[in-house]
Amino acid sequence: MGEEVKDKIYTIEHVFGGDIGQDLVGCYFKLKEDGKFTFHDKDKNPKAHDLGVPSSFSFRLDENPGIDWHLTLTEDTGKMLTGGWQDGPDPANADGEYQAQAGGSGEEEEPNAASAGGY
């Protein structure tokens, strides 16, 4: 089972709330062998470390550094992580929620590996 935990990725695929929350789609949590998570942006840059469930953390995305993001990590079902997000100065006012689906190892795949066929 240790091999399953190593490099397990939970990618944010569903964001509910304001449109700005779509900036979180593609960001992901990486499960470490110690059971804690590291949060990464879409470009694989780590933004938060040693996250447990529950936890909360703040970060900025490089593509829009003017926004201070505040996320909570509230539930881990083993297949999905859920939590809330807020994009302003007061993290007590949640703007929406997210779901991060488990799957993959974070390794790059061949760009056309899944669709190697013609029309």
Secondary structure string (H, E, C) spanning 94-117:
CCEEEEEEECCCCCCCCCCCCCCC
Q: How far is Cα 6 from Cα 40, in angstroms, rounded to an integer?
A: 16
Local confidence pLDDT in tens for the 119 residues of the chain = 444 556 799 999 999 998 889 999 999 999 999 999 999 999 999 999 999 999 999 999 998 888 899 999 999 999 999 999 999 876 666 589 999 999 865 544 443 334 344 43
Report the domain count for the chain: 1
Q: Is residue 32 part of a domain?
A: yes
pTM for this one? 0.81
Residue 46 is assigned to a structural domain of this protein:
yes
In a domain, 118, yes or no: no
Q: Is 55 within 8 Å of 76 (Cβ atoms)?
A: no
Using CA atoms, how far residue 13 sits from 37, 42, 57, 72, 97, in Å, is: 17, 12, 19, 16, 11
3-state secondary structure of 20: helix
